[in-house]
Structure 1
Amino acid sequence: MNSAPAAILPLAGDYPYQIGTPPVRILSKYPIVSTQILHLAGHRETQQRAIIKFNEQEVVIYNMQATGPWFKIYNILRFLTIPVYKYGPHAPEIQDLVQRVEREILPVIVAGDFNITDETQDYDRVLKVMQDSLRKAGFGFGFTWSHGWELKLLVKSSNWRLNYPVFRIDCIWYSKHWDAKSSSVLEATESDRLPVAAELILLTAAR
């Protein structure tokens, strides 16, 4: 999970196993066997790969934080500008993730901030190797971003904040070893996005 320290503290009692360094951390009810810090495609953003002992089965967890899209500002009117999003630097990270997942033998869950929507080519690349829990077991649009985003980038000298989400950029994916029973967006925390949750059932153990 990616979360602010203040948001993590209330969860500590329910999730005794924790590991990671800011800005990423995994909280687990099950023992964490090992962990690895990643920088997909050699980029600056930080991700985690952990092996967790789920009952008698080891499973792989990727805690995802992808590079955000950058944008160029275009002036429409004297007082109004719009951002045009570009995803170029993002694609190598997704490709690196896909290749890692393809090499995994254990059951895999990948969760976190992907900074992509389901209308992008990067989303389709992930969909070729994993299942999207919201698509399989959720309902609605699943928007998670933004909660409390300042609108100064859109309207100059504005102090408005966008307090309802308009994009789904946070996802929980899983390998063929799992099935999704439910998936949902949760209530707001201190983050600038809404948290997501999924209930997964382990169908087959790795051989």
Structure 2
Amino acid sequence: KHTERAFTWLKADYPYQIGTPPVGILSKYPIVSSEILHLADHPETQQRAIIKFNEQEVVIYNMQATGPWLSRSKKLRFLKIPVYKYDKRSPEIQDLVQRVERETLPVIVAGDFNMTDETQDYDRVQKVMQDAFRKSGWGFGFTWPHGWELKLLLKRSNWRLNYPVFRIDYIWYSKHWGAKSSSVLEATESDHLPVGAELILLNEARL
């Protein structure tokens, strides 16, 4: 996700933009078409776009999966604890996988999946696409939390968590691509660290 300011800052380098902040796709290449998605008919917003990269059209999915909900501790009533539930996220992932399986163009799926690489949902995505960081990154690749306000958990706290311990943000690609490099980038205004990847469209120029 991006803030209004991020859209403005990146306009010079990424002149093609779709969506309304905080959700959007920014591109150096022309956007041929785009649509808003609600995977599994859930309220979270995703995007699908077709981008013209040189003479090749490619499909881009901007992903936001349902996150964990907060529940109160039974012993400490002032404390809210994040609890992951798969019953809402899994249908979204299954919907995404089915869409990717129907695509005939090269595909890239990127965004906040709200899942670790130890989950069944990760395995479902891995069956149809490659994880750029796992293929070409180094280290743990943790992206969350960073700058997450503890007052979401503790009502009177102004502390921020700046020690990511989960990898929940991904760049996935179809068999049409190869991954040259992938890394976790420097912090932005988000409570997630951004991720980047250099992908090569096989038999084509570098993206």
User: Does TM-score exceed 0.5, indicating one fold?
Assistant: yes
Q: Which residue of 2 aligns with 1:10?
A: 9
Shift of 1:6: 1.2
Tell me the SS of whatever aligns to 2:13: coil
Distance in 2, matches of 1:75 and 1:20, equals 41
Distance in 2, matches of 1:63 and 1:10, equals 20
Partner deviation per Cα, 1:56-93 (whole Å, 9 max, x = no partner): 10000001111112243333568766443222211110
Partner deviation per Cα, 1:40-64 (whole Å, 9 max, x = no partner): 0001011110000011100000011
Q: Which residue of 2 aligns with 1:142?
A: 141
Shift of 1:153: 5.2
Q: Which residue of 2 aligns with 1:95?
A: 94
Tell me the SS of whatever aligns to 1:181: strand
What count of residue pairs does the alignment treat as equivalent?
Answer: 204
Tell me the SS of whatever aligns to 2:8: helix
CA contact (8 A) 1:131 1:173 kept: yes
Q: Which residue of 2 aligns with 1:27?
A: 26
Letter in 1 for 2:159: W
Distance in 1, matches of 2:27 and 2:154, equals 42
Letter in 2 for 1:12: K
Please list, as runs of the form range in 1=range in 2, the aligned pairs for 1:28-67 lying within 5 A after superposition.
28-67=27-66
CA contact (8 A) 2:148 2:160 kept: yes
Partner deviation per Cα, 1:107-136 (whole Å, 9 max, x = no partner): 000001111111111111100000000000
Distance in 2, matches of 1:41 and 1:141, equals 30
Change (3 A) 1:54 1:119: same
Partner deviation per Cα, 1:148-170 (whole Å, 9 max, x = no partner): 11224555643321012111111
CA root-mean-square deviation: 1.8
Which shows bigger deviation, 159-168 or 93-102?
Answer: 159-168
Q: Which residue of 2 aligns with 1:195?
A: 194
Letter in 2 for 1:45: E
Q: Which residue of 1 aligns with 2:113?
A: 114
Tell me the SS of whatever aligns to 2:73: strand
Distance in 2, matches of 1:143 and 1:136, equals 15
Shift of 1:10: 1.4
Tell me the SS of whatever aligns to 2:19: strand
Change (3 A) 1:48 1:158: same
Which TM-score applies when normalising by structure 2? Answer: 0.91
CA contact (8 A) 2:4 2:22 kept: no
CA contact (8 A) 1:144 1:165 kept: yes
Distance in 2, matches of 1:67 and 1:81, equals 18
Which TM-score applies when normalising by structure 1? Answer: 0.91
Change (3 A) 1:78 1:71: closer
Gaps of 5+ in 1: none
CA contact (8 A) 1:23 1:46 kept: no
Partner deviation per Cα, 1:7-49 (whole Å, 9 max, x = no partner): 2221110111111123311111111100011000001011110
Q: Which residue of 2 aligns with 1:74?
A: 73
